[in-house]
Chain A
């Protein structure tokens, strides 16, 4: 067969395609379990981080250990938009577009220590994904994480850093005196310079150079805190 003939060209292309696709399919299938475990583990680690465990997970902990801590301490429930618990459903059963929302409850010896829910929305360049956790009073912020985003490293990407996230801890999402919801707001600059004393309980310091990302985070918090209020208003003792 001539090397320049059409038949040879077609045969060659066919063989290349078959060999490439077979080897890729084999590798992808062979590594599938490991990849899926990584993804699940990443999400669970972030929930555990957001609820601020009493004994934080050792960063070097083996996957099985993390999974065990997770199943021991976190109860997964599903709620609807009216804040009612939907029985017999797990977060992984929720399909896109259904009005069901997952809620993760951190319990230690039967006592609720935190409520945690996923948050997501637009930052500047990308969609931000994270978790937000409240204390059992459903008012005080316990923790927050971002685990997936595509913001500028060093600027917007600072939202995933400890120095920024720790400012949220202890903030209040409910104004007792007025009885209104006060989603946490990131200000431009320092809270101490810009926000009146009586409003500081729901404001945190901004990140310089990341105003747009912070605006996105503000909108995300407002959206999800309002959405989950249906549930939290039931458990909040006023």
Chain B
């Protein structure tokens, strides 16, 4: 038996979500929000924070209840837990980060339908104890966050010439005829970037789809 707060096995669980089984690039889940909130890095970061909170908490709560949840209504119970947590996160954003919550608008609410959250609840938290589920939630939400941050940073720099709202492309470049890349602020821009990231990751990890 391995013991301790964060042992080798836990590390493997976190790594699984971050890299080997990354929810965005490997499972291709959570794409809707990955496209919608990555126009700017700041909104992407807040979205990542909200998802990390919801995913970790929902995994812990559902895992603690896993031996009591009746099989017939397990999906509904999972959804109630997840949606309550999402509304909690949304309320806190409205109270303490009003401007960002205005920009994120419906997308915080839509974490409820983010496949990653329910996917992890059903696939992992229902079978594993709370602490392990917490690590799984953390790994997966970091996996999601890393991709969102990369996409968000690229889209903001290429699309608006700023990073976290600060200009990064020198004024001289604009005077020399440089133009911001309009497609990057639209959803297709995120699609291209995501495709490139998935390609790069699979080339690196040597993953091949089995037919």
Contact = CB atoms under 8 A, between A and B. Distances in A.
Interface string A37-69: 011011000000000000000000000000000
A27 B91 contact: yes
B76 A13 contact: yes
A209 B182 contact: yes
Contact of B185 (A4, A17, A27, A152): A152
Interface string B77-102: 10011001001100110111010001
Contact of B105 (A4, A8, A13, A150): A150
A206 to B, nearest CB: 15
Interface in A8-46: 8-9, 12-13, 16-17, 20, 23-24, 27-28, 31, 34-35, 38-39, 41-42
Contacts of B182: 154-155, 209
Contact of A9 (B73, B94, B98, B184): B73
A17 B102 CA distance: 29
B186 interface: yes
B70 A12 contact: yes
B87 A152 contact: no
Nearest to A208: B182
B95 A17 contact: no
A8 B182 CA distance: 56
Nearest to B40: A153
A9 B84 contact: no
A3 interface: yes
Interface residues of A, number: 27
Interface in A138-193: 148, 150, 152-155
B92 A31 contact: yes
Contacts of B160: 154
Contacts of A13: 73, 76-77
B95 A16 contact: no
A155 B185 contact: yes
B94 A153 contact: no
Nearest to B72: A9
Nearest to A154: B185
A12 B73 contact: yes
A42 B40 contact: no
B70 A34 contact: no
Nearest to B76: A13
A216 B170 CA distance: 33
A4 B91 contact: no
Contact of B98 (A24, A27, A42): A42
Given A12-B68, A23-B84, A24-B84, 19 more contacts: A3-B70, A9-B72, A9-B73, A12-B70, A12-B73, A13-B77, A16-B80, A16-B81, A24-B88, A27-B92, A28-B91, A31-B91, A34-B95, A38-B98, A152-B185, A153-B40, A154-B159, A154-B180, A154-B186
Interface of A: 3-4, 8-9, 12-13, 16-17, 20, 23-24, 27-28, 31, 34-35, 38-39, 41-42, 148, 150, 152-155, 209
24 contacts: A8-B70, A9-B73, A12-B69, A12-B70, A13-B76, A13-B77, A16-B77, A24-B84, A24-B87, A24-B88, A28-B91, A31-B91, A31-B95, A35-B91, A38-B95, A39-B98, A41-B98, A148-B102, A154-B39, A154-B159, A154-B160, A154-B184, A155-B182, A155-B186
